[in-house]
Amino acid sequence: MSLDKLLNELVSQKLQTQTRRHFLLDCVSKMGGLALAPLLFGCELGKNGTANGGLNLSDRDLNPLSPQPAPFLGKAKSIIYLHMAGAPSQLELFDFKPELAKYHDQDCPASLLEGRKFAFIRGVPKMLGPQAKFSQHGESGAWISDYLPHFSKVADEVAFLKAMHTDQFNHGPAQLFMQTGSPRLGRPSLGSWVTYGLGTENQNLPGFVVLTSGGKTPDAGKSIWGSGFLPSVYQGVQCRSKGDPVLYLEDPHGMSRELKKHVVSAINQSNQEDFQNFGDPEILARINQYEMAYRMQIEVPEVMNINDEPAHIHELYGTQPGEESFANNCLLARKLVEKGVRVVQLYDWGWDTHGTDHDGSIDMGLRNKCRSIDRPMTALLLDLKQRGLLEETLVVWGGEFGRTPMQENREGKKMGFMGRDHHVDAFTMWMAGGGVKKGTSYGITDDFGFAGLEERTSVHDLHATILHLMGFNHEQFTYQFQGRPFRLTDVHGELITKIMA
Amino acid sequence: MTNTPLQALVTLNDPVYLDAAKALSQKVWAKSGKNPDVAIQELYRQLLLMPISEAKKKSMIELFATAKTEFDRDPKARDEFFPGSDASLAALAVTANAMMNLDEYLTKP
């Protein structure tokens, strides 16, 4: 009896609190809310009150991940983005600055400090010469350090962007900026835009898969692969990097596939009714996600299993099944792209080399960290190439900002280890594969590697270029939200044509 | 509220959610006088705190019937799914599992 009383109490409470959806329903049906509808729904859905009454649903609404032709011919069909969370030092990897070595341990010139703020550097820091040995590689003569011996061998496959710059010197906002085009929360990620625009080739797998390594997820959290104001069916789906890639893929004991199909169908029929009543696009996303879940149960265990890969592939990547590692994730990325997944985003944490401890030191920790990605990322390029997939897969590598040519002096004191502070004015990224001009380098920094002198590339320029390579004009690829069209690049972005094939 | 296929897999397949669906079904089944129609309305009322619509009731009754037919035909599967139940109770648990995956159940007002 007491349970009944409790239930009755809950029922009356529920009646008292009108839900947001009921409010919206009333607005649309009773207030003649036609003018309001686009503002509320922010998309083509919710056309209540049209001549035939109900909601107009396009095929795209019902099959949001079905493959779409790009607006114009893009060279790349899929993208693998390797984000080194924490921001690796360009001065130890790709941006060779012999001049900086001469100033090692000398006071930083005042001209570099005037009017500038750093995340941790205070007062006058010492300069910090390059701690790696550099040499030129391949026919392109790319400068790559001895921290990346494997990668040096594929120098001719990539295009370097050496004068990247950003305007955010803290990890969270900088990661958001790099992945969503805005340092503030709420915008769709690059991967969501691409999945929204192109759908995906394999309807049994999510269009946008995220894998992390390095023991931590990025500082900015899941929003950096979020869908923002795009329907949430386009958000990145994070698979686990250790143990089962996705939990609860198995149906309950005794429930057949056929019966599960009926369960999902009954759920979706009921949700469909709610969608007809309320027009909330999130319900539509829910319906699609349940269908995806049902289909994923078959294909995910197979594609996410690296145990059965041949020995030479494990050798190539340096993979050890069962571990959480960047190497395993690189191999998975190749498998996913091969299966028709549109976007694979890898995050590897542990690049924030401030010099506060051994692992965070430029001369030791960074070298070890590089060792953990050197072979896998090289293998990824070689493996994609040998399968003929590199031509249609865009591979992007980089962090959220760079590191200072000065040695960090947290709270004005000398640090125990050699470290570099966050730096916004210059850092290096590279791209390879679909539509990228091999063996090129774009951007020149000054003698200290402090700031770009020529061919500077903003985050928006990078995004514009990536979208271009995927077949979009970044100025025309928009989504209507809150009364105005939004772009990944907002009102910025110039194509970097010199690195296009 | 999370809206990903991973969320769907959890609330569909995680034993915790299934155990809850089974326990609720047991209670409601006894109370309904073993009447599927009454039981389905009561399940919905307990989960959503309002009466079920006609269309949803129809979907859920169909699901119940399909599940019951399958468990009648395959008692081994029924025992695996819900040990100690009969086909009707197991089918009601399948229905409760579906209701606990409705958008309106998962989405807080």
Main-chain dihedrals φ then ψ at residue B102, nearest 5 degrees:
-65, 145
Check whether residue A96 and residue A7 sit in a common domain. Answer: no
10 Å Cβ neighbour count for A127?
A: 21
Mean pLDDT to the nearest integer, A145-149 = 98
Main-chain dihedrals φ then ψ at residue A488, nearest 5 degrees:
-60, -40
| Closest chain B C-alpha to A292 CA, distance in angstroms | 6
Check whether residue A235 and residue A382 sit in a common domain. Answer: yes
Instruction: Find out whether B28 and B44 touch, Cβ atoms under 8 Å.
Output: no
What CATH number did the domain enclosing A438 receive?
3.40.720.10
Check whether residue A132 and residue A232 sit in a common domain. Answer: yes
| Residues from chain B contacting residue A250 (CB–CB below 8 Å) | 13
Q: State chain A's mean pLDDT as an integer.
A: 91
Predicted complex ipTM exceeds 0.90: yes
Check whether residue A336 and residue A198 sit in a common domain. Answer: yes
Distance CA A426, CA A228 (A): 28
Check whether residue A202 and residue A126 sit in a common domain. Answer: yes
What pLDDT score does A24 carry?
Answer: 59
What pLDDT score does B68 carry?
Answer: 98
Residue A294 resides in a domain: no
- Check the CA dihedral A36-A41-A42-A48 and report its sign: negative
Least confident residue range of A277-281, A335-339, A381-385: A277-281
Q: Give the pairing of strands A440-442 and A78-85.
A: unpaired
Distance CA A492, CA A486 (A): 12
Which range marks the domain in which residue A46 is found?
Answer: 2-62+249-278
| Residues from chain A contacting residue B55 (CB–CB below 8 Å) | 269-270, 273
| Residues from chain A contacting residue B9 (CB–CB below 8 Å) | 246-249, 293, 296-297
Residue A134 resides in a domain: yes
Give the residue among A186, A112, A19, A83 at the shortest CA–CA distance from A447. Answer: A112
| Closest chain B C-alpha to A145 CA, distance in angstroms | 41
For the stretch A257-261, contacts whose Cβ atoms lie closer than 8 Å and that sit 24 or more positions apart, written own/partner, are: A258/B70, A259/B66, A259/B67, A259/B70, A259/B94, A260/A294, A260/B12, A261/A294
Residue A288 resides in a domain: no
Q: Give A322-376 as a 3 state SS string.
A: CCCCHHHHHHHHHHHHHCCCCEEEEEEECCCCCCCCCCCCCCCHHHHHHHHHHHH
Based on DSSP, count helices (H) and strands (E) in chain B, helices before strands.
7, 0
What pLDDT score does B90 carry?
Answer: 98
Check whether residue A213 and residue A89 sit in a common domain. Answer: yes
Check whether residue A140 and residue A154 sit in a common domain. Answer: yes
Domain count for chain A, please give it: 2
Check whether residue A86 and residue A149 sit in a common domain. Answer: yes
Residue A332 resides in a domain: yes
Residue A468 has pLDDT above 50, yes or no: yes
Contacting residues for A2 by C-beta, under 8 A, at least 6 apart = none
Check whether residue A141 and residue A33 sit in a common domain. Answer: no
- pLDDT tens-digit series, residues B1-57: 578 999 999 999 999 999 999 999 999 999 999 999 999 999 999 999 999 999 999
Check whether residue A255 and residue A219 sit in a common domain. Answer: no
Residue A291 resides in a domain: no
**In chain A, which residue's Cα lies nearest the Cα of B74?**
A254
H helices of A211-364, where?
257-278, 281-303, 311-317, 326-338
CB-based contact, A298 to chain B, within 8 Å: no
Contacting residues for B104 by C-beta, under 8 A, at least 6 apart = A271, A274, B48
Q: Three-state DSSP class for A238? A: strand
* Alpha-carbon torsion angle B41, B47, B50, B53, nearest 10: -50
Check whether residue A237 and residue A262 sit in a common domain. Answer: no
10 Å Cβ neighbour count for A17?
A: 9
Distance of CA B43 to the CA centre of its chain: 8
- pLDDT tens-digit series, residues A41-64: 433 443 333 333 456 677 888 789
**In chain A, which residue's Cα lies nearest the Cα of B77?**
A254
Check whether residue A407 and residue A421 sit in a common domain. Answer: yes
Distance CA A208, CA A235 (A): 7
The confidence band for A18, taking pLDDT boundaries of 50, 70 and 90, is: low
Identity at A190, one-letter amino acid code: L
Q: Give A92-130 as a 3 state SS string.
A: HHCCCCHHHHHCCCCECCHHHHCCCCCCCECCCCEECCC
Verify whether the Cβ–Cβ distance A7 to B49 is below 8 Å: yes
Verify whether the Cβ–Cβ distance A253 to B81 is below 8 Å: yes
Main-chain dihedrals φ then ψ at residue A396, nearest 5 degrees:
-125, 135
Region for A88 from its dihedrals, namely left if φ exceeds 0, alpha if ψ lies in -120 to 50, beta otherwise: beta
What pLDDT score does A31 carry?
Answer: 47
Identity at A269, one-letter amino acid code: Q
| Residues from chain A contacting residue B45 (CB–CB below 8 Å) | 7
Q: How many interchain CB pairs under 8 A, A with B?
A: 130
Based on DSSP, count helices (H) and strands (E) in chain A, helices before strands.
15, 17
Residue A335 resides in a domain: yes
